[in-house]
Amino acid sequence: MSNQSEDDVRVWLVERTYSDDEQNLIILTYATPDGEQYYRKERALTSFTDVRDTTAAVDAEPGNLGMVDDPDLQEQYAAEAQRM
């Protein structure tokens, strides 16, 4: 993120899915190491020449994080985040 602040939270890539609703849309889900919060990024696959790096971790503003309410999903996200 270009406007990083000291309050930003490091989140790790835990899931990548393709949208059922729209073609050429990938949904990247990042989570905190404890799996309790997530950050979602949608990316359109418009062109092979459109270069956008997908990194293992990003820094997200706390206000852009959602809560993971499902304990099983929280456990899965925590395991994936720690694996990254």
For 34-64, the pLDDT digits (tens) are 999 999 998 877 656 666 678 899 999 999 9
Work out the pLDDT band at 23, boundaries 50, 70, 90: confident
The C-alpha atoms of residue 65 and residue 10 are separated, in whole angstroms, by 11
pTM comes to 0.81
**List of residues 6+ apart from 10 with CB closer than 8 A:** 32, 57, 58, 59
Distance set, CA 23 to CA 17, 20, 32 (Å): 12, 7, 28
